[in-house]
Structure 1
Amino acid sequence: MTEDTLAPEGARDSAIETTAVPVRERARIALSAARRRTLALTDCLPDTELTAQHSPLMSPLVWDLAHIGNQEEIWLLRRAGGRPPLRADLDHLYDAFRHPRADRPALPLLSPRQARRYLATVRDHAFDVLAATPHPGDGFLFGMIAQHEQQHDETMLATHQLRSGPAVLDAPAPPPAPGDAPPPEVLVPGGPFTMGTDTDPWALDNERPAHRVHVPAFRLDSTPVTNAAYQRFIADGGYEEPRWWHPDGWLHRTREELTAPAFWHRDGATWLRRRFGRTEPVPPDEPVLHVSWYEADAYARWAGRRLPTEAEWEKAARHDPATGTSRTYPWGDTSPGPAHANLGQQHLQPAPAGSCPAGAAPCGARQLLGDVWEWTASDFGPYPGFAAHPYREYSEVFFGSRYKVLRGGSFGTGQVACRATFRNWDLPERRQIFAGFRTCRSAEPG
């Protein structure tokens, strides 16, 4: 997913059974959590930094701010509430498909003050619509917009990582990993499982419909690949050996002169990284971050393994062999809390590998949700019986071999936009996203 298709979340928004929360209240909680985070990511910067473009890969933050409001107006005020437009003149200006990110600074954008005022006005009307709707049904449009805003929040967090100014964000470090380290890999038994969903009311169109998929047995890394493991790949000449690389990846690596993950540099024998305006040693036990699909694929080949397919990843994350059912999350159907997964910008980095044993999947793999998005081997495409909803541009226009699927969410992914069926996608060369990976191998017969 690119965010263009559509304050940290506190514990009070987490670890609840979503089915037990009335739809109206669930929508209000999700929208409010997203807005707190949006404001926290923008109120910390002066106007000059909100209107600047910190990378041609990203929009000015003020564009994201007004785009969030425009999408909320279109879908909640006009579509759900049947209300006349507040600012129809903004529809073209903040249409992500009409204006590539690199071109957006030249547009006559709302100022930060105007964008904030527009955002607040739209939200007041949206809550009026929510309160006035006699039967909100499953609240899909409200859930879609909450997810859309959280997706932009993660994109704005990536812009913070790309900006060159001093640090303005802060969060506590994640706790150390528990002492019960999992084995290096886990076995995921072969057989069919139910992939996708027909039951989650806020699942997006590309997660539907549910369908049966047969996956042969395979062995999966129990945690994402760590910085220490990735440094061994670098030390062994992994970036200089074309046999490990996809042909397109080798061309890209050579052209861009890649030698390490984004934001890394070496100081003598020590690897350092820049993280949200701070320079620090690369933590050896954290999942590697800011690597492209090409780099992940090359590492897997070097290690004698491969990236899991999307179906393999989802089976590992969801399938419960004891019941034959597919879970909403690896640990069950209770929404994520801090013990389950590192999500929602609670921390500004991945947790150490082996963290969150309470969030383990039935197969024993940990950290399948949160910490780092995980590249898979699969191209982004429709499930059998796919139907675009509520508009083609959310998913359908991105289907094809150009985009690779990522799964699982990152430390910057909002809880409402992270579940074991959620599908992300991006170009295989992208590195500004909070992406890592884990590897797998086919299980031996018998």
Structure 2
Amino acid sequence: MARLAPATRVADIPPLFDKTRTRSRDLVAPLSPEDTMLQSMEDASPAKWHLAHTTWFFEEFILKPHAPDYRSPDERFAFLFNSYYVQAGPRHARDKRGLVSRPGLQAVVEYRAHVDDAMARLLEGGDPEVAELTELGCHHEMQHQELLVTDLLHGLSFNPLLPAYRDPQPMPVTDEVPLTFAAHDGGLQEIGHAGEGFAYDCEGPRHRTFLHPFRMADRPVTNRDWIAFMEDGGYGHQPLWLMDGWATCQREGWDAPLYWWQQDDQWWTYTLRGPQPVNLDAPVVHVSYYEADAFARWAGARLPTEAEWEVFHADRPVEGNFLDDGPLRPLPGGGPWGDVWEWTQSPFTPYPGFRPPEGAIGEYNGKFMVNQFVLRGGSCATPRAQMRPTYRTFFYPHHRWQMLGLRIAKDA
């Protein structure tokens, strides 16, 4: 967790808090109470739970330690809405969150209002430590906003009616963009967060790393590229796959990205805007690390390392298709940011000199640094305010339900 910039930045935190909390409310506005109860698998959580958990975070880590007069509307919420913070106490089983019909949605909305009022009063004091923790809480909630919509997509996908979360919109029509590569000389480079401004603890310390010369694709892999991989038998050609990936592919019966099906000789996909024909020139999405790695081998390339990705994008402005922009699906013409998270070949491990913060807040990232891979660049479900070249997200190699895609690289 980064320290705040000079004291004048403390004044920026109340507007950030209000904007973040309002966006969560707006995201659930189109949903019925029944929608907010959906939990389609252990990895996903109900929208109602996301609303409550992000509220508990402010209550547990800010209000209880820093507002002596604060009282929770229900002390049992700490058990229901803790996620994985062992030091914060016992918690409800992760895979049974969808069974918590009570408190109902209205009670959760009232819980949020109760905490918001208390936070507003606390922030009036201008305490830098409170402001710092509130900034972390806002970025934590932004992460859950992304999870809220992607978990919802997964849950709604099991409904035979294939309902639309947002009204369908026509996809922009663009020309095919050839896949080209830009060279980088490599050498001794610095990566990781340094200086002022928010960053998660896992983004630092800034450190040096050596890179061999490499080439990076100028755009993400598209649906058109992926269909060529499929038509060439990519899902059935074992030599392209890692052993664990091949076993997973066979066990799960993968033969296309998640949410794809064929109808009248055309590929279709399910999106937050309902069923849509696959747009050939939009970035492919909902593919696992295993699939991304197999595609890269098929293409005579590889996945980039996270260090290569960061130095290649460090000077590129953060412009792209994010949650704020509203499409909620990858768009054709994808650039260096947004649309889809891009798998790297780098495991999620600590940087040299990393030390998690003390206490339960230190459980935020450090204990997950095993068996997962880093992705970079943000997606159409990521709030723009989260994005910076050093931002690392991470998922297990079999995961597909997030907005996961890829960009390939080659040795120079």
TM-score, L = length of structure 2: 0.89
* Equivalent position SS for 2:34: helix
How far does residue 438 in structure 1 lie from its aligned partner after superposition? 0.5
Structure 2 CA distance for partners of 1:139 and 1:93, relative to 1, 3 Å: same
Distance 2:288 2:228 in 1: 17
1:392 to 354, 359, 362: 362
Residue correspondence of structure 1 range 201-240 to structure 2 within 5 A: 201-240=197-236
Cα distance in 2 for partners of 1:311, 1:175 equals 33
- Tell me: CA distance 1:80–1:224, structure 2 relative to 1, closer, same or farther (3 Å): farther
2:252 alignment partner in structure 1: 256
CA distance in 1: counterparts of 2:356 and 2:146, whole angstroms: 24
One-letter code aligned to 2:31: L
Name structure 1 gaps, 5 residues minimum.
1-17, 321-329, 356-365
Aligned to 2:115: 122
Taking the aligned partners of 1:426 and 1:89, their CA distance within structure 2 comes to 30
Gap change, CA 1:172 and 1:387, over 3 Å in 2: farther
- Residue number in structure 1 paired with 2:88: none
1:194 Cα deviation after fit? 1.7
> Cα gap change, 1:170/1:28 in structure 2, threshold over 3 Å: closer, same or farther?
farther
> What is the alpha-carbon distance in structure 1 between the residues aligned to residue 105 and residue 372 of structure 2?
33
For residues 292-341 of structure 1, the C-alpha deviation after alignment (integer angstroms, 9 at most, x for no partner) is 001000100111111011111111111x5xxxxxxxxx22xxxx5xxx22
Counterpart in 2 of 1:360? none
For residues 165-224 of structure 1, the C-alpha deviation after alignment (integer angstroms, 9 at most, x for no partner) is 5213248667666x8968611112211222111313311110111111111110011111
Structure 2 counterpart SS, 1:47: coil
- The amino acid across from 1:265 in the alignment is W
Rounded to whole Å, the distance in 2 between the matches of 1:413 and 1:188 is: 28
Shift, 1:143, TM fit? 1.4
Distance in 2, matches of 1:345 and 1:129, equals 28
Alpha carbon RMSD of aligned pairs, Å?
2.5
Question: Is the aligned partner of 1:382 residue 2:382?
Answer: no
Q: CA deviation at 1:32?
A: 2.3
| Counterpart selection for 2:195 from 196, 199, 224 | 199
* Counterpart Cα distance in 1 of 2:15 and 2:381: 18
Residues 52-106 of structure 1: per-residue CA shift (max 9 Å, x gap): 3244431222111111111111123224545544243321221212444322223
Distance 1:277 1:342, change over 3 A: closer
Q: Which amino acid aligns with 1:214?
A: F
Please say if residues 38 and 152 of structure 2, whose CA atoms lie closer than 8 Å, have aligned partners that are also in contact.
no
Contact 1:238 1:299 in 2 (8 A): yes
Matches of 1:211 and 1:422, distance apart in 2: 15
1:136 aligns with 2:144: no
Does structure 1 conserve the Cα–Cα contact (< 8 Å) formed by 2:184 and 2:214?
A: yes
Q: Note if contact 2:7-2:128 (Cα within 8 Å) is conserved in structure 1.
A: no
Deviation for aligned residue 1:441: 0.7
Partner of 2:340: 372
Counterpart residue number, 2:163:
166
* Map of 1:90 onto structure 2: 77
User: 2:216 & 2:68 partners in 1: Cα distance?
Assistant: 49
* Secondary structure of the structure 2 residue equivalent to 1:132: coil
Match of 1:4 in 2: none
Q: Sequence identity, in percent?
A: 33
| Residues 50, 144 of structure 2: 8 Å contact kept | yes
The answer (yes or no) to whether the contact 1:140–1:201 under 8 Å persists in 2 is: no
Alignment of 1:321-360 (within 5 A): 330-331=316-317, 336=318, 340-346=319-325, 347-353=327-333, 355=334
Higher mean C-alpha displacement, 222-231 vs 184-193: 184-193
The residue identity in structure 2 corresponding to 1:406 is: L
From the superposition, tell whether residues 83 and 415 of structure 1 become closer, same or farther in structure 2 (CA, over 3 Å).
Answer: farther
Q: Structure 2 regions of 5+ residues with no counterpart? A: 85-90
Matched, 1:75 2:44: no
Which one-letter code corresponds to 2:50 in the other structure? D
The match for 2:180 is 184
Relative to structure 1, is the Cα distance of residues 219 and 138 closer, same or farther in structure 2, using a 3 angstrom cutoff? farther
Are residues 429 and 228 of structure 1, via their aligned partners in 2, closer, same or farther at CA, if it must alter by over 3 Å? same
* Secondary structure class of the residue paired with 2:380: coil
Match of 2:375 among 406, 417, 422: 406
Deviations 1:126-151 (A, max 9, x none): 12111112x42693212111111111
* 2:104 paired with 1:104: no
Q: Under a length normalisation based on structure 1, what TM-score does the superposition of the two structures give?
A: 0.82
Aligned to 2:411: 442
- The letter for the 2-side match of 1:397 is K
2:7, 2:218 → 1: CA distance? Answer: 33
* Count of paired positions: 394
Task: Return closer, same or farther for 1:93/1:196 CA change in 2, 3 Å cut-off.
Answer: same
Find the counterpart in structure 2 of residue 60 from structure 1: 46
Is 1:372–1:408's contact at 8 Å kept on the other side of the alignment? yes
Cα gap change, 1:281 to 1:183, in 2 (>3 Å): closer
2:237 is aligned, of 237, 241, 247, to 241
- Counterpart contact for 1:183–1:222, Cα < 8 Å: yes
Instruction: Tell me if structure 2 keeps the 8 A contact 1:174–1:349.
Output: no
What SS does the aligned partner of 2:372 have?
A: strand
Distance 1:253 1:198, change over 3 A: same
